[in-house]
Amino acid sequence: MADHALQIHPIAGALGAEIAGVDLAADLDERTVAAIRRAWLDHLVIFFRGCELPPERLLAFARRFGEVVEYPFINGIEGFPLITPVVKLEHERVNFGGLWHTDTAYLERPPMGTMLVAREVPPHGGDTLFANMYLAYETLSPGMQRLLDGLVAVNSSAKADVTKTREDRLRDGARSEAKREYVGEHPVVRTHPETGRKALYVNGGHTVRFKDMSEKESAPLLNYLFAHQQRPEFTCRFRWAAGSLAFWDNRCVQHLALWDYYPQTRSGFRVTIKGDKPF
Candidate list 43, 169, 266, 270, residue with the active-site label: 270
Candidate list 166, 169, 251, 255, residue with the active-site label: 255
Q: For the chain, what is the domain count?
A: 1
Is the confidence at residue 36, as pLDDT, over 90?
Answer: yes
Q: Which of 255, 254, 248, 252 is nearest to 273 (CA)?
A: 248
Could you report the per-residue pLDDT of 78-89, keeping only the tens digit for each?
Answer: 999 999 999 888
Candidate list 3, 103, 168, 249, residue with the active-site label: 103
37 within some domain: no
pLDDT confidence tier of residue 177, bands split at 50, 70 and 90: low
1 within some domain: no
CA angle 58, 110, 94 (to 5 degrees): 75
164 within some domain: yes
Distance, in Å, from the CA atom of 72 to the CA atom of 173, rounded to the nearest integer, reads 11
Decide if 206 is catalytic: no
Decide if 255 is catalytic: yes
Could you report the per-residue pLDDT of 201-252, keeping only the tens digit for each?
Answer: 999 999 999 999 999 999 999 999 999 999 999 999 999 999 999 999 999 9
Range of the domain at 230: 68-273
Could you report the per-residue pLDDT of 85-132, keeping only the tens digit for each?
Answer: 998 887 786 777 789 999 999 999 999 999 999 999 999 999 999 999
pTM reported for the whole predicted model: 0.91
Decide if 43 is catalytic: no
Q: What is the CATH number of the domain that holds 171?
A: 3.60.130.10
Is the confidence at residue 3, as pLDDT, over 50?
Answer: no
Is the confidence at residue 46, as pLDDT, over 50?
Answer: yes
Candidate list 101, 166, 190, 266, residue with the active-site label: 101
A 10 A CB-CB count for 186 gives 25
Decide if 103 is catalytic: yes
129 within some domain: yes
